Structure 1
Amino acid sequence: MTGPAARPLLVGTDLHKAFGATTALEGATFAVDPGEVVAIMGPSGSGKSTLLHCLAGIVRPDRGTVRFDGRDLATLTDAERGALRRSAFGFVFQFGQLVPELSCAENVALPLRLDGVPRREADARAIAWLERLEVADVARQTPGRVSGGQGQRVAVARALVTTPRVVFADEPTGALDSLNGERVMDLLAGAARESGAAVVLVTHEARVAGWSDREVVVRDGRTRTTELLA
């Protein structure tokens, strides 16, 4: 942040979440600035994915607040939250979650089409992002006909095509070999920083967290922050 008026883009404060008798979050806190990449780390079952889902407005915390650009997500209607996830937020998941019946270009264009962008413009923007992510050659292929690394780059293109302000990446390299994982992270972090988007990255791999500016470690539903050395 720079200047006295600057504030974090996305803030989670004193977040609590339980699923039945299982406590996932117990007072977790989180903040990310525009253009910052923050890695959420922790052992399996620590609550890191639940924290990401609360920050993204997918899951409502039992207690605590999540504010995006100063707005409390709890005050938004379901329609407003859906619009936020289509335009201001982008998502990359471990297995891409591309629509198998659509071509790679159609997958990238899908969030634009859902937001009312005309087909020709949506297709052009999708192709531009596939070129930027170095997978324009698979634009007309369906996801089942491309490699895992190519598919994940398509998923990154889909996440970035709406020019989101926050990208949520949940184990984006978990299904890839180390070489493809490094390339995906290099492209994701580089493109996000260039556009000024914040990245909230869930990972259990230290090498993947190496692309972040800062680590937030989740353990037993609580968080602590570690500043990374340049």
Structure 2
Amino acid sequence: MSAPLLVAEGLYRRFGETVALVDAALRIDEGEVVAVLGSSGSGKSTLLHCLAGIVRPDRGRIVFDGQDLVTMSDARRSALRRDAFGFVFQFGQLVPELTCLENVALPLRLARVPRRAAEQRAGQWLERLEVTEVAGKRPGEVSGGQGQRVAVARALVTRPRVIFADEPTGALDSLNGERVMRLLTEAARDTGAAVVLVTHEARVAAYSDREVVVRDGRTRNLEVAA
């Protein structure tokens, strides 16, 4: 068996008196889609934030492509989040002052890609996510489903190794949610990106290759999805 792309072992994380993670563990292989399921407050979002290098665990080990995220400097972790990771959040978190095209191009511009090249690549991803019609609009001028597809395009534009999606359909109706998940997982598989998908919905988890349940901060693997 090849080495995992991302592995976490023995993760503990406490916020004040609240224990969020207790000996949590997770393995992500190259190109697979893993759903992390759990009720509100179970610790699933904390697990995602630790895996993505946003939050440091109090104890435990997280290794991405041979690199230790726990001991890594803040500057290196920031660079990793910019260059190797993509993010999709429940409410998109697009920059309201920028057009949708500029939002998608933003990660490339932060990586010092020239504007024209960045916006050309951003336009290709808007087309891939079926939202070319909103390129010149600002986030407040588009629907929730369109905005979330723009957010997915932004997550994919740098061709990340891992996409972290935290309740990506939580603010959408079922039809738009299905469309976002179909486009996200198809695009990720085409580019070879792994996906860590946090959700509490079985219909969203059905898009994954494998499911992990978090309950009271502890992880439990389920059978591989059919």
- Is the TM-score greater than 0.5? yes
Alignment of 1:47-126 (within 5 A): 47-126=43-122
Match of 1:190 among 180, 186, 190: 186
Backbone CA RMSD of aligned residues: 0.7
**What amino acid maps onto 1:40 in structure 2?**
V
Structure 2 partner of 1:227: 223
The separation in 1 between residues aligned to 2:138 and 2:131, in whole angstroms, is 13
Moved more, 70-79 or 159-168: 70-79
1:112 touches 1:122 (CA, 8 Å); kept in 2?
yes
Structure 2 partner of 1:141: 137
**Displacement of 1:77:** 1.6
Structure 1 partner of 2:39: 43
The separation in 1 between residues aligned to 2:178 and 2:55, in whole angstroms, is 29
The count of aligned residue pairs is 226
The separation in 1 between residues aligned to 2:174 and 2:5, in whole angstroms, is 31
**What amino acid maps onto 1:128 in structure 2?**
Q
The separation in 1 between residues aligned to 2:225 and 2:170, in whole angstroms, is 25
The separation in 2 between residues aligned to 1:229 and 1:159, in whole angstroms, is 25
1:25 touches 1:220 (CA, 8 Å); kept in 2?
yes
**Displacement of 1:227:** 2.2
**Displacement of 1:78:** 1.4
Deviations 1:166-218 (A, max 9, x none): 00000000000000000000000010011110000000000000000001100
**What amino acid maps onto 2:74 in structure 1?**
D
Structure 2 partner of 1:156: 152
Structure 1 partner of 2:201: 205
SS of equivalent residue, structure 1 residue 81: helix
TM-score (norm 2): 0.99
The separation in 2 between residues aligned to 1:196 and 1:77, in whole angstroms, is 27
Structure 1 partner of 2:175: 179
**What amino acid maps onto 2:206 in structure 1?**
G
Q: Which runs of 4+ in 1 moved over 6 A?
A: none
The separation in 2 between residues aligned to 1:75 and 1:44, in whole angstroms, is 29
Unaligned runs of 5+ in 1: none
The separation in 1 between residues aligned to 2:71 and 2:107, in whole angstroms, is 24
The separation in 2 between residues aligned to 1:74 and 1:45, in whole angstroms, is 23
2:164 touches 2:195 (CA, 8 Å); kept in 1?
yes
SS of equivalent residue, structure 1 residue 159: helix
Deviations 1:120-159 (A, max 9, x none): 1100000000000000110000000000000000000000
Structure 2 partner of 1:168: 164
The separation in 2 between residues aligned to 1:227 and 1:141, in whole angstroms, is 43
The separation in 1 between residues aligned to 2:190 and 2:31, in whole angstroms, is 8
The separation in 2 between residues aligned to 1:151 and 1:172, in whole angstroms, is 11
Structure 2 partner of 1:23: 19
SS of equivalent residue, structure 2 residue 36: strand
Unaligned runs of 5+ in 2: none
1:213 touches 1:227 (CA, 8 Å); kept in 2?
no
Identical aligned residues as a percent: 74
TM-score (norm 1): 0.97
